[in-house]
Amino acid sequence: MARPPVLSVALPSDTGRVLSIQSHTVQVFSLGLLWVCYSGCDNGYVGNKSAVFPLQLLGFDVDPINSVQFSNHTGYPTFRGQVLNGSQLWDLIEGLAENDLLHYTHLLTGYIGSVSFLTTVLQVVDKLRSVNPDLVYVCDPVLGDEGKLYVPQDLISVYQQKVVPVATMLTPNQFEVELLTGLRITCEEDGLKACNTLHSAGPRKVVITSALIEDKLLLIGSHKKAKEQPPEQFKIEIPKIPAYFTGTGDLTTALLLGWSNKYPDNLERAAELAVSSLQALLRRTVEDYKRAGFDPSTSSLEIRLIQSQDEIRSPQITCKAVKYS
């Protein structure tokens, strides 16, 4: 009997096929209920489980590889689980290659905790581009936030020297872009200069996903469409919500990937849709915690991802981009 075809390859999505390499946790907290999926499909909505579902809603076939698999995210008092090493990652890639399953339109990477694993990711980029030279590599360089480093110091130079040059789109936060460029971001002009520095190293699209400048929370985007032309640059002021959420960085990058695929020459539009979608989801999250009798300002909140499908699939633009001249 003939083996049936893999339909995601034989009949690929019109949108694309994504290989997503990020962290993964098993536990999900939803207004007092604990949901556990033994196949590893649910988590506290960080890493892959903050990214995969939105990308699927936006039309992608997504294959997740979990760089770590923890019982819950590290914001809890304790956690347990496993960390995938570089050789184990390569073993998975070789298995896909042996079955002719390596044709991806996009590669998405998030949290990576070791130099050896990150080095293997670079081999994965080369391998995937040998199959599809037009592969779009979207890299969220998860290094830290608000002055705190989440990863070993030696990962910074690997990102600077080897990862940034091969990325198509880079989505650092303010702290991460400072680490990658060596520039201090204290004003909008600093942010634009940092984007230009990263463009000169490789990526055509750079989005500083959050930067606190003069008491304003901004997204700063930059798209260099041609080498001989200056980049098109813009900002979006992000409404502040008085709460702390987990998984928003992973979700933001996934939304930017999804919408920039739909609007490949209009990063402003993609960012407006991504930010507006995220804001609607966060407002729903806060409202739901309040309805459950919980003060959202007292603890880190798990985002209401599943309940926000409409806001992900068809967001109303509430956050507008302003172009820099």
**pLDDT, averaged across the chain:** 87
pTM over 0.85: yes
Q: Is the pLDDT of residue 69 over 90?
A: no
Hey, which residues are catalytic here? 250
CB 265 within 8 A of CB 203: no
C-alpha separations of 52 from 5, 43, 255, 304 in Å: 23, 12, 10, 14
Per-residue confidence at 281, pLDDT binned at 50, 70, 90? Answer: very high
Give residue for tokens 């997504």.
62
Q: Specify the pLDDT at position 6.
A: 54
pLDDT band at 105 (very low <50, low <70, confident <90, very high): very high
- Model pLDDT, residue 40: 30
How many helices (DSSP H) and strands (DSSP E) are in the chain? 10, 16
Give the span between the Cα atoms of 302 and 245, in whole angstroms.
6
What confidence tens digit (pLDDT) does each residue in 229-277 have?
999 999 999 999 988 888 889 999 999 999 999 999 999 999 999 999 9
The answer to which of 49-58, 161-170, 252-261, 296-305 has the lowest mean pLDDT is: 296-305
Question: What's the token pair of residue 131?
Answer: 């199959």
Q: Are 188 and 213 in contact (CB under 8 A)?
A: yes
Q: How confident is the model at residue 33 (pLDDT cuts 50, 70, 90)?
A: very low
Whether residue 32 has pLDDT greater than 60: no
Task: In whole angstroms, give the CA distance from residue 192 to residue 198.
Answer: 10
Catalogue all structural domains in the chain, each as residue range(s) with its CATH number.
42-323 (3.40.1190.20)
